Structure 1
């Protein structure tokens, strides 16, 4: 995977204080007005910088959004990692993966609706941060499958990559923010029924 996938393009000196100030102001501005309705000029006025000065640190509005999106996705992954870390079996890890990732995404939607718009745009347009997030989810699924096969919980006949992809496609409507906003009503049921169905299909 490209090492730069999660790193937005920058210009000028790496002045972290100024970058953080831009990100903090942008987070508040996007949270109030929404990502798509905000321009770099709006951010410049809110921070008290010139637009040209902001462009010294970020190539575009999307580059700023990438940092915010990456931060939010990292928060979701921290919740997921904590949920599955102590699971006693691969089967339980799969259940917790579905539940934690769908609930974390739903919480972001309801508690930070304007910032959720950034995640939805990022998912719709497949920003690098979103692609990296999906790669990470696939890797978790694959490791759970490997653990389950080694422990004798899961069948071993189906190719690993095929099974991984199938499970990811099932969970994707609850991973991808652009799709999740249309599936919020089904999250509680999906978090229970989908892993249960998958686990029955994985039985040896």
Structure 2
């Protein structure tokens, strides 16, 4: 007796994650060529070969796509900073590397392609959630370094920690915020070295 053949399995299409990644990759390339501000969702749909309605199934706006691109780049900066800080043990050297790597990585990622800078500028001006999260991670790492320095006796302990963190954050911001960094880019390397030394002197016990 012939056994019935099992039903054919439906061919598996791309997952939602794969489609989202495809849209983000295509958008990144398109923004690189034409800029974020000048691109519409219709432009992206035509470039990718999707309908505009299909893109809206995964992203509710152009900004939502830009958010992912921005978040990816900020995550790369965070990874570079964390790696640089982890390589040294003293809080003093951690701070120097923290500041230097933050500015160097930001300069490279934000300014290696002027078209993609559009996204960074728009994100910082609003600011987008990805930028607010990025700045919060900077504050947290700065707080961790200062707390370590106080515990090891490298830094003074009299000033409230949150006040110290906020003051140093404001000193650093012109060199990691893309809207401000564009005006400080030529002197950023020298300035960050000098400012790091100034901050560290103010932290001496």
Structure 2-normalised TM-score? 0.91
After TM superposition, give the deviation of residue 52 of structure 1 in Å.
Answer: 0.9
User: Unaligned regions of 5+ residues in structure 2, if any?
Assistant: 1-14
Gaps of 5+ in 1: 1-13
Q: Does structure 2 retain, via aligned residues, the 8 Å contact 1:44–1:54?
A: yes
Q: Is the Cα contact below 8 Å between 1:32 and 1:114 reproduced in 2?
A: yes
Equivalents in 1 of 2:125, 2:71: separation in Å? 15
Deviation, 1:18, is: 1.1
How far did residue 117 of structure 1 move?
A: 1.8
Per-residue deviation, 1:112:
2.1
Counting only pairs closer than 5 Å after superposition, residues 139-158 of structure 1 correspond to structure 2 as 139-158=140-159
Which residue in 2 is equivalent to 1:118? 119
Question: Residue deviations 1:109-150, cap 9 Å, x none?
Answer: 332221122111101110000000000000000000000000
The C-alpha deviation readout for 1:37-76, integer Å capped at 9, x for no partner, is 1010100000011111111110100000000000000011
Name segments (4+ residues, structure 1) moved above 3 Å: none
- Structure with higher Rg: it is 2
Asked if the contact 2:110/2:120 (under 8 Å) is kept, the reply is: no
Q: CA deviation at 1:23?
A: 0.5
Aligned pair count? 192
Give 2:70's aligned residue. Answer: 69
Q: Which residue pairs with 1:95 in the alignment?
A: 96
Is the deviation greater in 183-192 or in 22-31?
Answer: 183-192
Matching residue of 1:7:
none
How far the C-alpha of 1:177 sits from its partner, in A, is: 1.1
Per-residue deviation, 1:182: 1.3
Structure 2 contact 85–97 (Cα < 8 Å) conserved: yes
With structure 1 as the length reference, what TM-score do the two structures score? Answer: 0.91
**Are the aligned partners of 1:109 and 1:181 in contact in 2 as well (CA < 8 Å)?**
no
2:53 aligned residue:
52
* Structure 2 residue matching 1:182: 3-state secondary structure: helix
Secondary structure of the residue that 2:199 maps to in structure 1? helix
Q: Residue 22 of structure 1 corresponds to which residue in structure 2?
A: 23
Measured in 1, the distance between the counterparts of 2:87 and 2:119 equals 32
Q: Give distance in 2, aligned partners of 1:111 and 1:175.
A: 15
The alignment yields a C-alpha RMSD, in angstroms, of: 1.3
Find the counterpart in structure 2 of residue 38 from structure 1: 39
